[in-house]
Structure 1
Amino acid sequence: MPLFLSSYANRVDKKGRVSVPAPFRAELEHLNGFVAFPHTEHACIEGWDRGRMAQLAQAMDDYSPLSEEYDALGYLLGRARELPFDPEGRVILPAYLMESAEITDSVLFIGRGNSFQIWNPEKHAQFEARIKPSSAIVAKAISLGRARRGGPHE
């Protein structure tokens, strides 16, 4: 499973090409790219490896084809696009993804563990100012995660 950490700013050229940060490419090199789709709640692009997208597709089998959950997962799959790396480690961001994230000439890649996001830097600064968690919230999230996995509590 890949591990995406840290944040990286890059420019987008007039053709929509952007260099994927080297640490992210290293996590995806066996796939020669990644899958991208518009986030459903925030103005950003989600970046997942192909295996994680396959898990999402498989999760559809848990729902009735007539359910809202099935439609929601199908929507994500229908909006997803595989973005292969070119020889320089760049991808081309399709216009519909750039528009959904309000991206023009620069992006911010944000590592999120087993996925990453691509943001307009100004939009991300606004988002981050709004959601910056307190240490108490972080400690609670870590504790809850351990409890779900059956690990020791602190």
Structure 2
Amino acid sequence: MATLLGTYTPKLDEKGRLILPAKFAEDFEHGIVLTRGQDRCLYVYSAAEFDAVHQRMRASATGNNKQTRDFMRLLLSAAHAETPDRQRRVTVPAALRGYAGLERELVVIGAGNHAEIWDAEAWNDYVSSTEDDFATAAGEVIPDLF
């Protein structure tokens, strides 16, 4: 799987579908998993990557840790498998659209091993609220990055 990069601005149609970016087509052609993401966005994994993420969660899960159980429950209970059609369209289930507050205008970003779907206004607010921290935090967040 290639590293997913970039920012795209598809629209949600009246049937709750969006067209995934062409740059992601090869990674997502064998199926995707849409699920609840952090910060009120949706995560989009290739089916293979979602399986790998699930296996890492299971391997690291400490059976009686409430935080681990809560995280896994929320991520997995919202998961929805889908195969993009020939036009790269996928349907976003109503529950996930509601969770992320998705309206017609969307932003899809590449986030490394997955993509994220944001309501355009929510994405712009997020970027505005985190830009100053981004400008100063690289060394603290990821040591020796630059």
TM-score computed with the length of structure 1 as normaliser:
0.81
Structure 1 pair 67–116 and aligned structure 2 pair: CA distance change class (3 A):
same
Aligned residues: 142
Q: CA deviation at 1:140?
A: 4.6
Q: Deviations over 1:116-136 (max 9, x none)?
A: 1100101100000011110x4
Q: What corresponds to 1:14 in structure 2?
A: 14
Structure 1 pair 14–145 and aligned structure 2 pair: CA distance change class (3 A):
farther
The unaligned stretches of length 5 or more in structure 2 are none
Superposed CA RMSD in Å reads: 2.0
Structure 1 pair 89–137 and aligned structure 2 pair: CA distance change class (3 A):
same
The unaligned stretches of length 5 or more in structure 1 are 147-153
Tell me, yes or no, if the aligned pair for 2:40 and 2:100 is still in contact at 8 Å.
yes
Structure 1 runs (4+) deviating above 3 angstroms are: 139-142
Query: How far apart in 1 are the matches of 2:2 and 2:79?
Result: 19
Tell me, yes or no, if the aligned pair for 2:32 and 2:82 is still in contact at 8 Å.
yes
Q: CA deviation at 1:47?
A: 1.1
User: Could you say what secondary structure the match of 1:3 adopts?
Assistant: coil
Query: How far apart in 1 are the matches of 2:59 and 2:141?
Result: 29
Q: What corresponds to 1:38 in structure 2?
A: 36
Q: What corresponds to 1:97 in structure 2?
A: 96
Structure 1 pair 71–61 and aligned structure 2 pair: CA distance change class (3 A):
farther
Q: What corresponds to 1:47 in structure 2?
A: 44
Query: How far apart in 1 are the matches of 2:88 and 2:60?
Result: 36
